[in-house]
């Protein structure tokens, strides 16, 4: 029998119990879709960081503990580090040195959260993010230092319902007035609220301390060697953009493993459903398999036939899972676009291949026991069953 006839026979065997086959395929579809959606979050966030942060931000970020404190380190670095780095400027080809205070304005409602980013008003937002443009009002000026003013990103303005002239409460004692709204630029920076550094230091009780020092170089290609020199001479953690992206990649790999582990539970349940469906089919078709053996079919043929049914069932569920996962990814991105102006999920070719590959592996493993049972049927006993 040629392979085409074998697959046709396998499909006919599955469609004899259409409702049971459909329910089993739906179980696999849901399991694969959940895996696709979970893992697509990691793929989407990777694209966001590589595309949106690869060409913006400081060439070097100097802090006390690197990225071990997360993306918004606490203001625990003595501000004299700024002067120390400025002292190396001419030797290392440093163009600008910008002290930064960062803190997260959290909320139970994620859409109400934002990143507060304090930097010297005289240097302005362009010192770290040179491509930012103001669409309403103005940017920070030297006269704003220490004043209660802020320039907000487009997405922060939308989520917090702020406009030019609005008041934003930093805490019970400190509030700032919105003097500028930035044009949409980057999904992440759009969620930032920029303030004069002394204003944010006062609000956070962090006078004389900064979260990090942002360094721009005359030649960004020298970032690695300059970072190494700063780290050795000043006993500080100096990280480049590539270090930051590597840190993000490691963090995402850990989160990918966690999400895959959660998905694996659903996949195992789906595999058991496939095994149960195929095994029941074997028991119901005992006489059929016995007849096949009686007319000369070898045990290997019967085994291959049952495995083909299992693979077809899992492949159908896998394709359905990818399609359902694509719909889920679309829903996730609609939400994250409204929240932060980014696509947090992405269906990449390697993710599609992973989903289909796992589906086929699931079908193969689920069909091994039923296939073995079918190939070992005794011809006499099989033909004698009603």
Tokens standing for residue 116: 């507060």
Q: Are 127 and 96 in contact (CB under 8 A)?
A: yes
CB within 8 Å of 272: residues ≥ 6 apart: 366
Cα separation, 106 vs 43, whole angstroms: 25
Tokens standing for residue 5: 């006839």
Q: Are 190 and 22 in contact (CB under 8 A)?
A: no
0.75 cut: is pTM over it? no
User: To which residue do tokens 């170089």 refer?
Assistant: 217
Could you state, in order of their start, the residue ranges of all structural domains in the chain? 3-51+249-384, 65-235
CB within 8 Å of 327: residues ≥ 6 apart: none
pLDDT one digit per residue (tens) for the chain, 386 residues: 566 766 777 777 777 778 878 888 888 888 889 889 988 888 887 777 766 555 556 888 898 876 655 566 778 899 899 999 999 999 999 999 999 998 887 665 666 678 899 999 999 888 888 878 889 999 999 999 999 999 998 888 888 889 999 999 888 888 999 999 998 876 667 888 999 999 999 998 889 999 999 999 888 889 899 999 999 999 888 888 777 777 777 777 787 788 788 778 878 877 777 777 777 766 666 666 666 666 666 777 777 877 888 888 888 889 999 999 999 999 998 888 777 677 888 888 988 998 899 888 888 888 887 777 766 766 555 555 54
Cα separation, 90 vs 222, whole angstroms: 14
CB within 8 Å of 326: residues ≥ 6 apart: 36, 347
Handedness of CA 6, 8, 9, 15 (dihedral sign): positive
Q: Which residues of 307-333 are buried (b: 16+ CB within 10 A; e: fewer)?
A: bbbbbbbbbbbbbbbbebbbebbeebb
Largest CA distance in the chain: 98
């Amino acid at each position: 029998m040629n392979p085409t006839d074998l697959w046709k026979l396998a499909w006919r065997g599955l469609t004899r119990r259409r409702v049971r086959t459909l329910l089993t395929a739906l179980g696999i579809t849901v399991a694969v879709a959940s895996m696709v959606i979970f893992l697509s979050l990691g793929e989407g966030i990777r694209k966001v960081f590589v595309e949106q942060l690869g060409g913006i931000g400081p060439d070097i970020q100097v802090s006390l503990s690197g990225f071990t404190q997360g993306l918004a380190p606490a203001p625990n670095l003595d501000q004299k580090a700024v002067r120390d780095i400025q002292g190396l400027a001419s030797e290392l080809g440093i163009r600008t040195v910008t002290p930064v205070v960062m803190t997260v304005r959290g909320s139970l409602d994620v859409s109400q959260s934002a990143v507060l980013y304090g930097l010297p008003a005289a240097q302005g937002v362009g010192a770290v993010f040179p491509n930012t443009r103001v669409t309403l009002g103005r940017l920070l000026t030297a006269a704003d230092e220490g004043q209660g003013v802020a320039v907000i990103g487009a997405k922060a303005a939308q989520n917090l319902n702020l406009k030019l002239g609005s008041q934003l409460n930093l805490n019970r004692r400190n509030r700032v007035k919105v003097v500028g709204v930035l044009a949409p630029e980057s999904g992440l920076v759009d969620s930032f609220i920029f303030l004069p550094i002394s204003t944010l230091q006062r609000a956070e009780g962090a006078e004389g301390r900064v979260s990090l020092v942002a360094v721009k170089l005359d030649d960004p290609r020298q970032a690695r060697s300059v970072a190494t020199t700063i780290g050795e001479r000043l006993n500080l953690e100096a990280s480049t953009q590539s270090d930051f992206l590597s840190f993000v990649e490691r963090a995402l790999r850990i989160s990918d493993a966690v999400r895959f582990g959660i998905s694996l539970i659903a996949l195992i349940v789906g595999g058991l459903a496939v095994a149960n469906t195929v095994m029941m089919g074997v028991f119901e078709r005992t006489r059929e398999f016995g007849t096949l053996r009686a007319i000369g079919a070898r045990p290997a043929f019967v085994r291959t036939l049952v495995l083909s049914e299992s693979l077809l069932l899992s492949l159908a569920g896998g394709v359905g899972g990818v399609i359902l996962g694509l719909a889920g990814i679309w829903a996730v991105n609609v939400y994250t676009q409204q929240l932060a102006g980014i696509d947090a999920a992405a269906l990449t070719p390697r993710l599609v291949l992973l989903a289909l590959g796992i589906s086929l592996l699931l079908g193969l493993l689920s069909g091994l026991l039923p296939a073995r049972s079918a190939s070992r049927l005794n011809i006499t006993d099989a033909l004698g069953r009603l």
